């Protein structure tokens, strides 16, 4: 029997990941607009990020325990359409019922976050299930497309805002809502590879320990990546006093570009993933501290965008690490990893929002602003950025343990073989 041609399936996965980027980019670029137009506090804006990733995490956990109940082929067809529906709700409710703007934003976020959760659970194992001579490169390339999607979304959004202002942001959301339909069509006309849907995440022994360590690692890595992804636009505008268009294009776009390029370079050269993750965590911690504490705008700016390099492999790299240590992890393992990553991506930006609000409204910030020349918002944003360094610092310590633990196991295996 002839082997199915999965070329179009791979393209469907790639385009789905590409088009998914807009649901993460657009909200973060509009934090200030929502705050000024609808009077939504920064804490509530941070809560939108929390809703986003909590919804994804819920989908991830459902797949962790009930993956065998889902028809994978049907689910991947519907998944992009949920993205479109969510963006439509997100755009139209604030437009036609501004008094319920926050309700529309929350409901829309829930719907397109369901699609994002499905994407995290299904796209990686689908690509891994497609026969390939270089599966690690395919995985890294898949996740690099999110970065390219962010770059494209930022550039399109920035040009749109320059031409039509942020007041007409909902038209841009309607445009982004059309793109996932293409992915749905591609999934409909392409074959679907067989994916392991067995729930084997509760295995004992070495497998269970590896999964547990990777789950913690992806939580910390996702927290490090997504805090800056969600706050870089507001940080540059309010803390660094950089015009929004310049901050979005030169900040968020370059951050995403470096994230994508680094993932492509990993796909090309495939260095040791454990060492790559360790260096990435160390670099991310340094960048957060410099970005938040440096009085030099240029240095803070460079630290922000360099986080695109250092955080780029923290999520996909942990998946690759799991795949190297466990043969055919299965959808349930990917779902559990995605759940942990989403938890990190929700907790950290929300924590940042709480810190910004608390510090900005404190007497400390008021008094410091009178002597430092910084606004209370700037003081709050810088404080939150420095505190975020705790996630990659903990990640560094965890990876040192992982590397030593795996090295010890490898030595024991060699000794057993020699005996």
Q: What is the pLDDT of residues 204-254, one digit of tens each?
A: 456 778 888 999 999 999 999 989 987 887 888 888 888 877 777 777 778
Instruction: Identify the residue with better confidence: 183 or 72.
Output: 183
Rounded Cα distance between 289 and 311, Å, is 14
pLDDT at position 406 over 80: no
Q: Give the per-residue pLDDT at 84.
A: 95
Q: Give the per-residue pLDDT at 1.
A: 46
Q: What is the pLDDT of residues 308-343, one digit of tens each?
A: 999 999 998 998 898 888 776 777 788 888 889 888
pLDDT band, very low/low/confident/very high, at 104 (cuts 50, 70, 90)? very high
pLDDT band, very low/low/confident/very high, at 90 (cuts 50, 70, 90)? very high
Q: Give the per-residue pLDDT at 86.
A: 95
Rounded Cα distance between 77 and 189, Å, is 10
pLDDT band, very low/low/confident/very high, at 197 (cuts 50, 70, 90)? low
Rounded Cα distance between 98 and 187, Å, is 36
Q: Give the per-residue pLDDT at 62.
A: 87
Q: Give the per-residue pLDDT at 233.
A: 79
The answer for residues whose C-beta is within 8 angstroms of residue 231's C-beta and 6 or more apart is: 28, 31, 349, 352, 381, 384, 385
Contact 266, 153 (CB under 8 A): no
Contact 104, 173 (CB under 8 A): no
Rounded Cα distance between 332 and 322, Å, is 13
Kindly tell me the burial class for residue 3, based on how many C-beta atoms sit within 10 Å of its own C-beta (0-12, 13-18, 19 or more): exposed
Contact 68, 198 (CB under 8 A): yes
pLDDT band, very low/low/confident/very high, at 97 (cuts 50, 70, 90)? confident
Q: Of the candidates 314, 293, 313, which has an alpha carbon nearest to the alpha carbon of residue 391? A: 314
Q: Of the candidates 354, 358, 277, which has an alpha carbon nearest to the alpha carbon of residue 311? A: 277
pLDDT at position 296 over 70: yes
Q: Give the per-residue pLDDT at 5.
A: 77
pLDDT at position 68 over 50: yes
Calculate the average pLDDT of the chain.
85
pLDDT at position 198 over 90: no
Poorest-pLDDT segment among 154-158, 217-221, 249-253, 396-400: 249-253
Rounded Cα distance between 178 and 352, Å, is 32
Q: Give the per-residue pLDDT at 3.
A: 65
Identify the structural domains of the chain with CATH numbers, from first to last: 8-410 (1.20.1250.20)
Q: Of the candidates 27, 12, 16, which has an alpha carbon nearest to the alpha carbon of residue 180? A: 16
Q: Give the per-residue pLDDT at 175.
A: 94
pLDDT band, very low/low/confident/very high, at 23 (cuts 50, 70, 90)? confident
pLDDT at position 417 over 60: no
The answer for residues whose C-beta is within 8 angstroms of residue 401's C-beta and 6 or more apart is: 213
pTM above 0.85, yes or no: no
Rounded Cα distance between 281 and 314, Å, is 8
Q: Give the per-residue pLDDT at 196.
A: 63
Rounded Cα distance between 218 and 323, Å, is 14
């Amino acid at each position: 029997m002839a082997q199915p041609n999965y070329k179009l399936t791979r393209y469907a996965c790639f385009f789905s990941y590409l088009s998914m980027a807009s649901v993460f980019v657009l909200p973060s670029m509009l934090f200030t607009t929502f705050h000024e137009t609808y009077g939504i506090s920064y804490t509530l804006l941070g809560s939108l990020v929390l809703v986003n990733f909590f919804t994804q995490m819920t989908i991830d956990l459902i797949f962790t325990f009930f993956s065998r109940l889902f028809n994978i082929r049907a689910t991947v067809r519907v998944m992009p359409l949920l993205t479109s529906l969510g963006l439509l709700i997100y755009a139209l409710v604030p437009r036609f019922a501004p008094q319920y703007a926050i309700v529309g934003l929350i409901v829309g976020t829930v719907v397109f976050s369901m699609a994002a959760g499905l994407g995290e659970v299904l796209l990686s194992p689908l690509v891994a299930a497609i026969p390939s001579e270089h599966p690690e490169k395919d995985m890294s390339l898949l996740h690099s497309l999110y970065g390219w999607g962010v770059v494209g979304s930022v550039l399109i959004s920035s040009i749109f805002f320059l031409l039509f202002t942020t007041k007409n942001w909902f038209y841009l959301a309607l445009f982004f809502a059309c793109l996932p339909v293409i992915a749905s069509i591609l999934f409909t006309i392409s074959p679907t590879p067989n994916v392991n849907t067995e729930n084997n995440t509760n295995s004992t022994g070495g497998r269970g320990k590896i999964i547990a360590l990777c789950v913690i690692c992806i939580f910390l890595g996702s927290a490090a990546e997504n805090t800056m992804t969600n706050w870089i636009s507001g940080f540059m505008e309010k803390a660094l006093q950089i015009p929004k268009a310049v901050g979005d294009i030169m900040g968020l776009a370059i951050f995403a570009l470096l994230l994508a390029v680094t993932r492509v370079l990993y796909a090309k050269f495939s260095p040791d993933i454990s060492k790559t993750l360790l260096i990435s965590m160390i670099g991310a911690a340094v960048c957060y501290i410099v970005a938040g504490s440096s009085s030099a705008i240029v240095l803070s700016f460079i630290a922000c965008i360099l986080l695109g390099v250092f955080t780029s492999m923290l999520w996909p790299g942990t998946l690759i690490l799991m795949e190297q240590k466990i043969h055919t992890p299965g959808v349930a393992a990917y779902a559990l990893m995605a759940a942990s990553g989403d938890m990190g991506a929700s907790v950290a930006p929300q924590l940042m929002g709480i810190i910004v609000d608390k510090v900005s409204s404190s007497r400390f910030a008021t008094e410091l602003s009178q002597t430092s020349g910084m606004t209370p918002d700037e003081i709050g944003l810088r404080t939150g950025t420095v505190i975020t360094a705790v996630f990659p610092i903990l990640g560094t310590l965890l990876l040192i343990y992982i590397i030593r633990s795996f090295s010890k196991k490898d030595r024991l295996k060699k000794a057993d073989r020699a005996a």
